[in-house]
Amino acid sequence: MESVFEKEQIILPSLCDYNAKLSISAIAGLFMDAAMYHAETLGVGFTGFNERGLFWIAARTKIKILRRADMAKTVKVSTWPEEAGILKCNRDYEISDDNGIIALGKTEWAIIDAKTHVPQKAKGIYPEGLVITDKTAIPEPFSVMKDDFEGELKGRYTVRSIDTDYGRHMNNVAYIKAVEGLFSSKELDELKISELEIHYKNPSFEGETISFYIKKEEDFMNIKIVKEDGSTSALVRIH
């Protein structure tokens, strides 16, 4: 029973942006996929949870990008869980190569009943005998982000079937991809995003049009994703 899961990954064209570099949304996707691989080996992945009527949801994710991996290069994706809390648990991630760390990540996960969506107990979810490492990819806590700002409307996006997952709501990585798509390639080159944090608030569903409002601060940019009913779907902060 491995406490840390590791997998080699070739940076394929489907994972790259317009500069032939590993994209931010692809980094998030690699983290999510590695989490699934590891959870399956621990009996708490899709297969085990589906039999028990349970479902993982991401509450918050933070990604730090130290550099961008090039297309066709091989990297190592690693992930490991932290000790579970009562209702939520963190999972850490790392992407590296022979030259060192490329990206780091941390996601706060929660467990819900697949039918009722009622939160379930996370404490004790991992199998007995699993040694939880005290290694932490991103030691600092998640940011405190509030949606009490208006901001400037940057764009709108209609959620499509390909954006949704098994829970029938917009997938957590699809939000990040939509945020990337708000900006032109020129704007992205100027932003040089080195950190992205997203807090998921209320799910968005196929056919909904969500609006993106941005507010620039001195050291970062806040993005509020708003549903058609005016409620906040997610909050994003990029550095």
Examine residue 10 and state whether it is found in any structural domain, yes or no.
Answer: yes
* DSSP code for 219: S
Examine residue 141 and state whether it is found in any structural domain, yes or no.
Answer: no
Work out the burial of residue 178: count CB atoms within 10 Å of its CB; fewer than 13 is exposed, 13-18 middle, 19 or more buried: buried
Quick: pLDDT tens for 199-230: 999 999 999 999 999 999 999 999 999 999 99
Can you say how many angstroms the Cα of residue 181 is from the centroid of all Cα atoms in its chain? 16
Quick: pLDDT tens for 48-82: 999 999 999 999 999 999 999 999 999 999 999 99
Q: CA dihedral in degrees (205, 35, 41, 116; nearest 10)? A: -30
The verdict on 9 and 108 lying in the same domain is yes
Examine residue 122 and state whether it is found in any structural domain, yes or no.
Answer: no
Examine residue 140 and state whether it is found in any structural domain, yes or no.
Answer: no
Residue 173 has pLDDT above 90, yes or no: yes
The verdict on 25 and 105 lying in the same domain is yes
Widest CA span in the chain: 51
What is the domain count for the chain? 2
Mean pLDDT of 136-155: 97
Mean pLDDT of 98-120: 95
The reply to whether the predicted model has a pTM over 0.85 is yes
Q: Is residue 110 a contact partner of residue 122, using CB atoms and an 8 Å limit? A: yes
The verdict on 169 and 222 lying in the same domain is yes
Count of beta carbons in the 10 Å neighbourhood of residue 236 = 22
The verdict on 107 and 157 lying in the same domain is no
CATH code where residue 32 lies: 3.10.129.10
Examine residue 23 and state whether it is found in any structural domain, yes or no.
Answer: yes
Task: Name the pLDDT band for 189 (thresholds 50, 70, 90).
Answer: very high
Mean pLDDT of 159-171: 94
Confidence (pLDDT) at 166: 85
Q: Is residue 98 a contact partner of residue 105, using CB atoms and an 8 Å limit? A: no
Please compute, for residue 67, the number of CA atoms within 13 A of its CA located in the half-sphere on the CB side.
9
Q: Return the structure tokens found at 128.
A: 């007995």
Q: Is residue 92 a contact partner of residue 63, using CB atoms and an 8 Å limit? A: no
38 phi/psi in degrees, rounded to 5: -65, -45
Confidence (pLDDT) at 1: 78
Task: Name the pLDDT band for 167 (thresholds 50, 70, 90).
Answer: confident
Residue 166, domain extent: 152-238
